[in-house]
């Protein structure tokens, strides 16, 4: 079926540096999401995005986080500066509309050292 691609699959970064996680959603999907999962734990909602705007964000979506999708290209999550507690797997998801199933990407494993 249609896939959500996430690039890179793994990223190791020094604390304090900036990182950008890239997501290529399903082509006709209009709603985009980021989730954070620490190993073996639950998927925690970070943010959802539609029509060029953040619709909703959680407490985990700190001031250091930002999202954008310039000109229909990648949907990105930027963390600047990174902190040790940002180490996790970040999953991108997209859906056709606000009422449809999500399609999840395979995740980016971020390690901040």
Partner 1 sequence: GEQVEQLPSILRVQEGSSASINCTYENSASNYFPWYKQEPGENPKLIIDIRSNMERKQTQGLIVLLDKKAKRFSLHITDTQPGDSAMYFCAARTGGYKVVFGSGTRLLVSP
| Residues found near partner 1 in the complex (CB under 8 A) | 31, 33, 35, 40-45, 48, 50, 55-56, 91, 95, 98-99, 101-102, 104-107
Give the H/E segment covering residue 109. Answer: strand 108-112
Instruction: Supply the minimum distance, in Å, between the C-beta of residue 17 and partner 1.
Output: 25
Instruction: Supply the minimum distance, in Å, between the C-beta of residue 102 and partner 1.
Output: 6
Question: Of 97, 77, 58, 73, whose CA–CA distance to 25 is shortest?
Answer: 73
In this complex, which beta carbon is closest to partner 1, that of residue 19 or of residue 47? 47
d(CA 85, CA 74): 25
Give the H/E segment covering residue 35. Answer: strand 31-37
Instruction: Supply the minimum distance, in Å, between the C-beta of residue 14 and partner 1.
Output: 24
In this complex, which beta carbon is closest to partner 1, that of residue 65 or of residue 104? 104
In this complex, which beta carbon is closest to partner 1, that of residue 31 or of residue 74? 31
Which region, left, alpha or beta, applies to residue 85 given φ > 0 means left and ψ of -120 to 50 means alpha?
alpha
């Amino acid at each position: 079926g249609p896939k959500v691609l996430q690039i890179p699959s793994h990223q190791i970064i020094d604390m304090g540096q900036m990182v950008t996680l890239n997501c290529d959603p399903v082509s006709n999907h209009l709603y985009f999401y980021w989730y954070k999962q620490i190993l073996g734990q639950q998927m925690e909602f970070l943010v959802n995005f539609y029509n060029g705007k953040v619709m909703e964000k959680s407490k985990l979506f700190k001031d250091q986080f930002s999202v954008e999708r310039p000109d229909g290209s990648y949907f990105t999550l930027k963390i600047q500066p990174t902190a040790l507690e940002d180490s996790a797997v970040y999953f991108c998801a997209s859906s056709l509309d606000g009422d449809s199933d999500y399609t999840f990407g395979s995740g980016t494993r971020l390690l901040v050292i």
